[in-house]
A and B are shown apart, each in its own frame.
Chain A
Amino acid sequence: DTGVSQNPRHKITKRGQNVTFRCDPISEHNRLYWYRQTLGQGPEFLTYFQNEAQLEKSRLLSDRFSAERPKGSFSTLEIQRTEQGDSAMYLCASRDSTRELFFGEGSRLTVL
């Protein structure tokens, strides 16, 4: 499968714990995005990488969220000291020079 891969697909954690999600984009895509989606809402932009450089981060994003793409290939999104409000689907997407996004199937986070 050469699509965007995300894991874990589901994560249940207790409030205050740290969680990390991984995204493997389509190999020839140099741009990688993280979005968050809750029920009844569209995907909300979190952050964006071109190769290994993080070019933009949402101003609404708490300092508890950090993302990396160390070698310009896979990316990780870490949430520290999780809160119940962090419960959502975390979507990763990648693209090349076109503007069409290819999404992974998402990582669903439930914070108890």
Chain B
Amino acid sequence: EDKVVQSPLSLVVHEGDTVTLNCSYEVTNFRSLLWYKQEKKAPTFLFMLTSSGIEKKSGRLSSILDKKELSSILNITATQTGDSAIYLCAGHNTNAGKSTFGDGTTLTVKP
């Protein structure tokens, strides 16, 4: 059974801090690692990582995949209160055509 584990489960920081969220995966026929942000409603897509060592960047967020270590990190620099959310990572099994999600990291950014 495919499995994705995220750490830490929760994190409280102050505005301006930098955070690193971790994701490890055991996914059969692995194709991609995806990051989502979930505020009060549905998850919204952040990044898809397919190749090892290539950083994806969007504003203050960046992410990288390490296929040797079966892991990925999501970095957020200069955090803002609007970054408060649950960050989910998911491993995509290309044969099954489905993504398996971790339980998320709940990030709280205090003013």
**Which of A's residues lie within 8 Å of B, judged by CB?**
4, 31, 33, 35, 40-45, 48, 50, 55-56, 91, 98-106
Contacts and interface: CB of A to CB of B under 8 A. Distances in A.
A102 B45 contact: yes
Contacts of A40: 103
25 contacts: A4-B42, A35-B101, A41-B103, A41-B104, A42-B90, A42-B101, A42-B103, A43-B43, A43-B101, A45-B100, A55-B97, A56-B97, A91-B42, A91-B43, A99-B32, A99-B48, A100-B34, A100-B45, A101-B90, A101-B99, A103-B42, A103-B43, A104-B42, A105-B41, A105-B42
Interface of B: 4, 6, 31-32, 34, 36, 41-45, 48, 88, 90, 92, 96-104
Nearest to B103: A42
A33 to B, nearest CB: 7
Given A31-B97, A42-B102, A56-B96, 12 more contacts: A41-B104, A42-B88, A42-B90, A45-B99, A45-B100, A48-B96, A48-B97, A48-B98, A99-B92, A101-B36, A104-B42, A106-B42
Given A99-B34, A99-B92, A44 B101 contact: yes
